[in-house]
Amino acid sequence: MTLPHGTGHLAGSRPFPAAAHVELGKPQLRANLHKATHTIRNKRARVVEELPDWEQLRLAGSAIKANVMARLPELLVEFEAAATAAGAVVHWARDAAEACEVVTRLVRETGTDEVVKVKSMATQEIELNQALERAGISATETDLAELIVQLADDEPSHILVPAIHYNRSQIRDIFTERMGDAPAGLTDEPRVLAEAARLHLRRKFLSSKVAISGANFAIAETGTLVVLESEGNGRMCLTLPETLISVVGVEKLLPSFSDLEVFLQLLPRSSTGERMNPYTSTWTGVTAGDGPQNVHIVLVDNGRSATLADEVGRQALHCIRCSACLNVCPVYERVGGHAYQSVYPGPIGAILSPQMTGIEANKTLPFASTLCGACYDVCPVRINIPEVLVHLRQAAVDSRRDKPSAERTAMKAMAWVMGDRRRYARALRAARRGTVPLERVLRRRTVRHLPWPMSAWTASRDAPLPAPESFRDWWRRTR
């Protein structure tokens, strides 16, 4: 059985190298990214080092998630039953379109055309804001950075700090131009900018009848949803409106409430570099006379079952969206999130997006890594990202087996040469003979220009020429 792939904001039209080329041409972006990723990376390292049982926590997190993936169907049924018993209404969505339909219908049924939103990757993945807009419903992002990105009519470039590509003077300009009620004479002082956003959002919180959230965790045993945030905007959305709609990926489940003990340590330290998360909200269905009285939960698949079916790749579903891997990734640091053309950028995006969409729609992402392994080292649930990248590269190559390819011809030829010591020794000598005239002309052992495909190397790097005598010839001659 082929499982349906994910739709929504998970793939773009350009190959990664082409998209990266554009982003690399933005010096301000590079400077912002360097500063921000290094700041968070160092902060994380400090708070992780101080925990003596960090490795045990990682192992526990990984084991709990592996257990969830092995029992996902039964845990989902358990969650649905518990949440329903607590007064929530559970909806199921196969893909982005179905999830957007459900949410749009639920909002329409309330009669409102204005909703406030808690920062959520799942709703960005399904492109909910665009769907709501088409239905005449305006959605306001209430996380400060998401608000900045929304006002700028831009896309997030980081999972946790979506406006990482802006600095504060750029944010001042966005507020001044785009936020209708921004005070005159706004400076780029962080405190001033935050206050302007706070006043703008306060009006929205007090008037909105519907809030839309995601969830960091969903507890199967109790039917509880959990949201972690830092600004208190989430708490406002989760408590003030009459109706609360939460869009949750099916992989967010944890078996029991006590499992939070592990994840509430792993997540804040990995994501923001904080010892404890500032605002952790949990809610279980409806509580009479307290908080939203209409609680909906939309469980979304959107390619997750297809990912779960892959023995090597399924570990990507363990991701808790901390973004530690983005902050240490040397590729992400140079190009930012937009180059990945998916709501999930960086190393985790490079293994998650191609699995959710199917490799055909995201052929170049698995190659957007040097396999340096920094991501695996910091992952709080020990996702072996380099292993999955290599696995997906294999899938990408296999998907093109029937098409002619210069790369495959070269790879096969090299494997043939390397497969036999005599062929290999002859090839070494041929390489040397072929480059002797070049070396005589250049009078050095490096070359500045080589023809395609080696021109990709020599565009920015000198290339070494073969040594006058290979090691094996030296060994034969002298031993």
Partner 1 sequence: MRIALFLTCVNDLLYPDTGKAVVRLLERLGHEVDFPESQTCCGQMHANSGYRAEAVPLVRGFVDTFDRYDAVVAPSGSCVAMVRESYPRLVPAAAGVATRTYELSELLVDVLGVTDVGAVFPHRVTYHPTCHGLRMLRLGDKPLRLLRAVEGLDLVPLPGAEECCGFGGTFAMKNADVSTAMLADKCTAICDTGAEVIAAADNSCLAHIGGGLSRRGAPVRVMHYAEILGGES
Residues forming contacts to partner 1 in the complex (CB under 8 A) are: 16-17, 20-21, 24, 30, 330-331, 334-335, 366-374, 376-377, 390, 393-398, 407-408, 411-412, 414-415, 418-421, 424-425, 428, 431-432, 446, 448, 453-454, 456-457, 459-467, 469-472, 474-476, 479
Of 85 and 454, the one with the shorter C-beta distance to partner 1 is 454
Token reading at 365: 């992402």
CB of 113 to partner 1, least distance (A): 43
Residue 455 CB, shortest distance to partner 1, in Å, is 9
Nearer to partner 1, 190 or 453 (CB): 453
Nearer to partner 1, 5 or 393 (CB): 393
How many other CB atoms sit within 10 Å of the CB of residue 111? Answer: 8
What's the min distance (Å) between Cβ of 271 and partner 1? Answer: 21
Q: How far is the CB of 202 from partner 1 (least distance, A)?
A: 42
Residue 239, token pair as written in the block? 């408590």
Distance CA 310, CA 375 (A): 21
Minimum CB–partner distance for residue 233 and partner 1 (Å): 35
Question: Of 207 and 399, which has the nearer Cβ to partner 1?
Answer: 399
* Residue 2 or 452 having the CB closest to partner 1: 452
CA distance 349 to 11: 10
Q: Single out the residue of 98, 1, 3 nearest to residue 307, CA to CA.
A: 3
Range 28-35, long-range pairs (CB < 8 A, 24+ positions) = 28/167, 28/170, 29/165, 29/336, 30/334, 31/167, 32/164, 32/165, 32/166, 32/167, 33/164, 33/165, 33/332, 33/333, 33/334, 33/336, 34/333
> 178 or 334, CB closer to partner 1?
334
Task: Decide whether 69 or 372 has the Cβ nearer to partner 1.
Answer: 372
Q: Which long-range contacts (CB under 8 A, 24 or more apart) does 61-66 make?
A: 61/262, 61/263, 61/266, 61/318, 61/320, 61/380, 61/381, 61/382, 62/318, 62/381, 62/382, 62/383, 64/254, 64/255, 64/259, 64/262, 64/263, 65/317, 65/318, 65/381, 66/315, 66/318
Residue 402 CB, shortest distance to partner 1, in Å, is 15
Nearest distance from residue 377's CB to partner 1, in Å? 6
Beta bridge partners, 31, equal none
